[in-house]
Every structure is written in structure tokens, then in C-alpha cells.
Amino acid sequence: MLDYSAFMLFGGLAILAGGILSVVGGGLNLSIFMDSPKAQPLIQSLGRTGARLFYVVLGVVFILAGGFMTFRGIQLFQQG
């Protein structure tokens, strides 16, 4: 059974990886992000540069949240 510390640790790492992917995708203007049909409403409302900035800011938020979850998972794991 997966306990809470493992959930926080591995969930945090997954969110952290998603945030890094979002920052890289927005920063490098990867076509997998910008050409997606789900991104078209965002691109139409904010423009392509605004959508890239949105992806970078969203990625930074995910990196912070994932880092906090991972750090807390490590703390819980060490406490037993």
C-alpha cells in the first residue's frame, strides 16, 4: 500500500517534471504545445507570445508546487 509520504514524494516529482516540461515547451516555442487543438483558444485570446508566457508562468508554479510536495514527502519519509 502506498503511504502518504510516498504519494507526496512521487506525486511531487511528477508535478515537478510537468512544470519543467511546461517551462521548456513555452520557452522554446515547441510545436507540441503551440499546435495542439486545446491550445488554440489560449493562443487566439492571448496571442502566441502571451500563450508562451502563460506556459512558462504555469510551469514555474508547477515547479514550486512540485518542489514543495517533494520536500514535504522527504520530510515525512524521514520521520517514519
Phi, psi of 73 (to 5 degrees): -65, -40
* Domain total of the chain: 1
With 80 as the cut, is the pLDDT of residue 1 above it? no
Nearest CA to 59 among 16, 3, 6, 9?
16
What integer pLDDT is reported at residue 2 of this predicted model? Answer: 60
2-49 per-position pLDDT tens digit: 678 888 889 999 999 999 999 999 999 888 888 889 889 999 999 999
Domain of 43, in residue numbers: 4-79
